[in-house]
């Protein structure tokens, strides 16, 4: 353990992206090539991603928010989409901005993931899709949700922003339905900013690729090989949701590191589980058959003031925080739409008690121990 003087200046941030010389070299090569926009590195990244997840098609985008929007917009969903309120607002925003209607339901306390029974109870003749949100690196119960979706002929969307590489009985997130991934710096792999859309459906992948590039079915890079590369015929109304060649170059390198980085996160979580006082915290639950990849390490406070606790940790250089408070149904925009009247007791309890402790691959055992001991002490003093 660190000495008292070292501890006074020690810093353990919430997250540090695992970037090195290989990523720097990859970006430098792209810059030297002169092809900075969407290009060959996108195809390399997409192929590595689809192979790793066991999906037929992956489309690189500028953000997970764009992927989520396209998951609603491209299939033409205009009815109800069932999703959890305990999520980042981007999930609900994609539904609303895609022209559909949110139906917010409760989650399970132990995993913080959408409750399949609550989903089935919320289905109406207007329901068109289920959006599962994999919380903090733990897969939602996709086997149950897939059965419900098949039974009611609903589209299944996965907000997989926090769960790259996580599995249920060996099947990875993004392979159950439409997958939407984030490469923000706090995620298990990062491109700085960026996202990915995955699907087994060739026609949907082609449509998403076109809509993400102003409605034009072929990319600039692909058209360079054509007799008339200047022809850009829009087959859909579209946007510019494309990922740059530079971001994709980083992603292609990061994919090579995904499994060892996820393994490191799991080791750190195991150490936290052993060190944290279970009388003070409810720890993460990994159900049988599920593999958690700990994009975040979250615990629930048991009987102490969370705000004071977080302040105590921050005084010691520990970047602890909260995900997610407020939940969607109490966000001002959604509350004004009437969602504030919803009774979601588990979501309300989680939002009041959830805590996120630092976790990232480069953490040392000493870092984890420092955070755990500081957390135990701060909680016990409260």
pLDDT of the residue at 235: 86
pLDDT of the residue at 229: 63
Tokens 């205009």 — which residue? 78
pLDDT of the residue at 227: 55
- pLDDT averages per 10-residue partition of the chain, 382 residues: 55 97 98 94 98 98 98 98 98 98 98 98 98 98 98 98 98 98 98 98 97 83 58 84 98 98 98 98 97 98 97 97 98 96 98 98 98 98 96
Distance CA 281, CA 271 (A): 15
List, in sequence order, every residue forming a beta bridge with 82; answer none if it has no partner. Answer: 103, 130
Q: Which of 172, 187, 300, 312 is catalytic?
A: 187
List, in sequence order, every residue forming a beta bridge with 60; answer none if it has no partner. Answer: 196
pLDDT of the residue at 4: 47
pLDDT of the residue at 368: 98
Active site residue 187: yes
Within 8 A by CB and 6+ apart from 289, the residues are 168, 169
pLDDT of the residue at 5: 45
Distance CA 130, CA 201 (A): 17
pLDDT of the residue at 238: 94
232, two tokens:
């850009």
Contact between 75 and 48 under an 8 Å Cβ cutoff? The reply is no
Q: Domains of the chain by range and CATH?
A: 4-15+259-381 (3.90.1150.10), 21-256 (3.40.640.10)
pLDDT of the residue at 220: 61
User: What CA–CA distances, in Å, run from 248 to 13, 284, 298?
Assistant: 26, 32, 30
pLDDT of the residue at 217: 80
CA distance from start to end of the chain: 23
pLDDT of the residue at 8: 55
């Amino acid at each position: 353990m660190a000495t008292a003087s070292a501890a006074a200046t020690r810093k353990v941030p919430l997250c540090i992206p695992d970037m090195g010389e290989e990523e720097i070299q990859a970006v430098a090569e792209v810059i030297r090539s002169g092809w900075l926009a969407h290009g060959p590195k996108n195809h390399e990244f997409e192929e590595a991603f689809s192979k790793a997840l066991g999906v037929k098609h992956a489309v690189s985008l500028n953000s997970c928010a764009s992927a989520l929007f396209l998951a609603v917009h491209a299939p033409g969903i205009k009815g109800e989409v069932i999703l959890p309120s305990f999520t980042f607002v981007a999930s609900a925003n994609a539904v609303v901005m895609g022209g559909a209607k949110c139906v917010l339901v409760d989650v399970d306390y132990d995993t913080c993931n959408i409750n399949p029974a609550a989903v089935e109870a919320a289905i109406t003749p207007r329901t068109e899709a289920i959006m599962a949100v994999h919380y903090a690196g733990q897969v939602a119960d996709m086997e149950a949700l897939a059965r419900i979706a098949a039974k009611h002929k609903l589209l299944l969307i996965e907000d997989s922003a926090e769960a790259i590489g996580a599995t249920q009985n060996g099947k990875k997130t993004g392979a159950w339905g439409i997958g939407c991934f984030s490469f923000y710096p706090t995620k298990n792999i990062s491109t700085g900013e960026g996202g990915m859309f995955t699907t087994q459906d060739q026609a949907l992948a082609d449509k998403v690729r076109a809509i993400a590039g102003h409605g034009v079915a072929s990319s600039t890079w692909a058209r360079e090989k054509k007799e008339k590369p200047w022809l850009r015929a829009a087959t859909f109304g579209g946007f510019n949701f494309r990922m740059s060649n530079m971001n994709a170059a980083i992603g292609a390198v990061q994919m090579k590191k995904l499994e060892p980085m996820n393994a490191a996160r799991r080791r750190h979580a195991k150490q936290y589980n052993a060190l944290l006082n279970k009388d003070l915290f409810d720890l993460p639950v990994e159900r049988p058959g599920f593999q958690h990849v700990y994009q975040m390490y979250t615990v629930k406070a048991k009987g102490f003031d969370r705000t004071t606790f977080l302040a105590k940790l921050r005084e010691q250089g520990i970047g602890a925080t909260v995900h997610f408070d407020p939940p969607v149904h109490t966000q001002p925009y959604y509350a004004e739409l009437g969602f504030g009247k919803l009774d979601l007791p588990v979501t309300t309890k989680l939002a009041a008690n959830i805590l996120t402790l630092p976790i990232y691959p480069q953490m040392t055992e000493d870092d984890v121990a420092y955070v755990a001991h500081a957390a135990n002490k701060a909680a016990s003093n409260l």
